[in-house]
Structure 1
Amino acid sequence: MPAFSKAPIEAATWYLAPYWAGVLTNLTTDKIPISRLTASDLGKRSGAITALVIIILIVAIIVLNQVRVIRKTGWLPHYLKWYVMGGLVAVVLSQLPGLELRIHHYIISMVFIPGTAFPTRLSAIYQGFLLGMFLNGGAAFGFDSILQTTSELRQDGPQGSILPNFLTNSTNFNASIAFVNQTISWDGLSGIWDGFSLLIDDVERYSGPALNFSLAAFDPTIPHFFRLAVSGVPRLEHSNF
């Protein structure tokens, strides 16, 4: 803000701390039991409703204070016009059949940032945080559409499709064989499935039609985690070992 152009230390204080808090939203808000603002998610997570109510109250207080500031500058009618129009558009979008209205991180930031364009210290704090949250949302989760289908909202949740089966597992793993000579194997599948995707420690290590994989390249002194998916359809579902 130009208001802080002659006070660089103060500007850095008001902007940078909340900016980095926003950039690291996935860490600074990690303990808040809210992942997505959908009824299904809120109902499944313990404490999510309480956390949401607290967040709404805090945001309401901040918004009311910013409205007071905007009113003093004479810009309130202009802002009200655009926010009312935006709200009406959101209502229309929320009623479209077969689609869910999703207010992503970056969209929340875009909605609120215009209301912080005033030379106050609190506005600077909000601006820094919202800019950081915008970058976090785009970088961590991508610029998803404001409208998504139910299947898109499920993300990697199970859909009841067939799961591959490990033949090697924690109960029959033969520890007497040197780790460099160990392989893991799994059952083959028929039908529309044409291959497998193997994740080891959350990194895809193999993709193809083979039914086994060598562990020679892995450190035998640490535990490893295996996930296997079948491919051949638009979606993968993993079984764990």
Structure 2
Amino acid sequence: MKRFTRLAAASLAASALAAAAALPAQAQTARAAATSGTGTAGLKAAQTLTTSRIDGRLETLRALSMVVNNATHLSTADRSTLGSLINSDISGLTSLRSKVAAESTVAAVRADATAMVDDYRVYMLVVPKVHLTNVFDIESAAATALQKVHDKLATRVAAAPGGGTSAEKSQLADMQAQIQAAQQADANRVATLLGIQPSPNADAIHSALSPLAGDAKDARKALAQARDDAKKIRAALK
């Protein structure tokens, strides 16, 4: 089970580092110039800022692609869906980058900047999609592994004198309940998560993601309790 924990932590770290590295330092200076500038200078500043912001998102997407490719417990279907999403966003943002460079007005660049955010939601939505999908798949694998452990322990307890102690039976029952709670918390969550679409409504996206993150946390807690039950049963059977 420690292996599952390390994998979850590694996925989170990779996603967080990718997002943190995505915003170039020069963006703040360019933002000020683009906001206050007019004419040719203002257009150039707006293009520089927007291009920088697009580049940050492209770097994040490339990092997320590596996370998806290297994730051990992603299902084949989830890996394919995430890979297609990332590749599509990279293609779209690369085209948008070229469009920004060809614009002739600040207003057009600002419209492109709005599209960059609303049409893709790389930081707000794609990063959580990759991270949470990986977490849900890791938890699913952990639940499957723990179920096998439970079944083996149940066989050992049943073979013990008297069919096992009341404490062992209680711990087995709790272990099964915790495994089922984790499976229920994770059930169909990936499909719901991957179905969330980018939009101008940031609050709606946050509201859709928040309960899913809570479900993942609940499942993790249940799996930890099931693991603790297994340790106690093993110790009692020695």
Q: What TM-score comes out, normalization by structure 1 length?
A: 0.25
Comparing both structures, which one devotes a greater share of its residues to helix? 2
Comparing both structures, which one devotes a greater share of its residues to strand? 1
Q: What TM-score comes out, normalization by structure 2 length?
A: 0.25
Higher relative contact order (CA 8 A, sep 6+): 2
